[in-house]
Amino acid sequence: MAGSYAAMPNVSGQRATEVESHGETQRLRWHYGKRCAAKQPGTAPNGFMGGRYSMPEKYRVAIFGRSGKGNYGHSIDTDWLQLSNCEVVAVCDENRQGREAAARRLYTKTMYTDYRQMLDETKPDIVAICPRWIDMHAEVAIAAAERGIHILTEKPFCRTPAEADAIIAACEMRHIRLAIAHMTHYSPILATVRKLIRDGAIGNVLELRARGKEDHRGGGEDLWVLGSHLLDLILALGYTPEWVFGDLLQDGRPVTKDDVREGPEGLGPLAGNQLRAVYGLKGGITATFQSYQNQGHSPGRYALQIYGSEGIMEISEGALAPTYILQDPTWCPARSGAQWKRVSTAGIDRPETLKDARYDFRNVVTIEELLSAIENQRAPLFRMYERRIVVMMTTGIFESYRIGGRVSFPLSVRDNPLIRLS
């Protein structure tokens, strides 16, 4: 049973579920129309015995944090405590005070300053890469995959498509399951949203619009840190980006190479406090992302809006993502008299029936999905391949600005294009 919630009966002693260990090696993965060779078995991950998978009574989880450098993300460390079939066995943090504080709140006495030593000595089933700073995401993820350890990582995934390529290659070689802490992707509300769109609740979809929080991080930083949630939602709703056209401004003027700086939170080269981009989606519609520094408010515009011929839907982020619908072809309630209505998993303007406490935590549903993927030897719902697309949707804006034109996906440029801005 994947991810039994702490309030439920403990699953210790439950008979292990056994599945074929290398079933995926028989399949070919197609991505952007290119066939990839079937994976060859590498080092077996924890739990593999004689070609079969044995589910542990408890998953051993190692925590990697960096106090002062992204800390422990958005409760990616503590949410493991909500699952009865998981136990935190160690914590790694180079900062002594942060390390000791984490050990106390995670109820472990095993502490490390070197993540490699932690992985080698504790031999966990899963590592949680918690920092919001992303400059070490790829390094730690690759090290874990090489040791046969499954992964949950904070968003953003990594800094470049090249880093994403390296993480994916390491995970493919050893059949590692990797999940990203984009909680909205795993929200049960998305199934309702997709059904409403299919059933024509807002007519034919015409365009998608996304805006960041537009606070002091507005522009490129907002794109990386918060825009990644919304770009992920575009994929989660079934849309495929084919190209992007992007523009970067600094205080209203075009960005130059002199504006490129080392971004905060380990983002790498960054520029622009005003950003606008248009994505061409398969099927002939467009999606936009825009962010302007210090133009946000509370409550703000941070959300994804889907515009249709008969109305609008809006989705924010969350385990039970706040979602609204305006069934109005004018898109203007002042003219039509229509009203926005809340959407729950039960439908339009209906009370939410999901009351489980798991939805009070940001990452519990994500963790449960990762455990299910491990036990059933399948990819998580939000695969690392989609995560790589989000990275390309981000760096693609910079490449489009650099060349002054539209760029197609997948990107041929695998590093950060701002390093070559002339």
Domain parsing of the chain, residue ranges: 23-184, 188-362+391-408
Does the domain spanning 188-362+391-408 belong to CATH 3.40.50.1820? no
User: In DSSP terms, which residues pair with 207 in a beta bridge?
Assistant: 286, 307
Q: Distances in Å between the alpha carbon of 416 and those of 167, 270, 394?
A: 17, 9, 10
Residue 320 near residue 354 (C-beta atoms within 8 A): yes
Task: Name 280's Cβ contacts closer than 8 Å, sequence gap at least 6.
Answer: 241, 242, 243, 244, 286, 406
Please check whether the two domains, 23-184 and 188-362+391-408, share a CATH topology.
no
SS3 (DSSP) at 14: coil
Residue 262 has which token pair?
């080392």
Taking the CA atoms of 405, 409, 411 and 417 in sequence, report the sign of the dihedral they define: positive
Q: How far is it, in rounded angstroms, from Cα 360 to Cα 57?
A: 25
Residues in the chain: 422
Closest alpha carbon to 390 in 152, 53, 158? 158
> In this structure, what is the dihedral angle of CA atoms 269, 275, 278, 279, given to the nearest 10 degrees?
30
User: In DSSP terms, which residues pair with 210 in a beta bridge?
Assistant: 289, 304
Q: Distances in Å between the alpha carbon of 27 and those of 23, 133, 381, 411?
A: 8, 35, 17, 25
Q: How far is it, in rounded angstroms, from Cα 216 to Cα 9?
A: 46
Write out the H or E segment, with its range, that includes residue 248: strand 241-250
pLDDT of residue 33: 30
Task: Name 290's Cβ contacts closer than 8 Å, sequence gap at least 6.
Answer: 210, 211, 212, 275, 276, 277
Instruction: Identify the CATH class of 23-184.
Output: alpha beta
Residue 156 near residue 163 (C-beta atoms within 8 A): no
Phi, psi angles (nearest 5°) of residue 147: -100, 5
pTM: 0.86
What are the mean pLDDT values of the chain's consecutive 10-residue runs (422 residues total)? 37 25 27 31 38 71 98 97 97 98 98 98 98 98 98 97 98 96 92 98 98 98 97 96 98 98 97 98 97 95 98 95 97 97 98 92 94 93 90 98 98 97 88
Q: Distances in Å between the alpha carbon of 255 and those of 66, 220, 271, 277?
A: 32, 11, 7, 14
pLDDT of residue 196: 98
pLDDT of residue 104: 98
pLDDT of residue 40: 32
Residue 259 near residue 271 (C-beta atoms within 8 A): yes
- Pairing status of strand 323-326 against strand 341-344: antiparallel
CB atoms within 10 A of CB 109: 8
Q: How far is it, in rounded angstroms, from Cα 286 to Cα 210?
A: 11
Q: How far is it, in rounded angstroms, from Cα 160 to Cα 162?
A: 5
The amino acid at 349: D
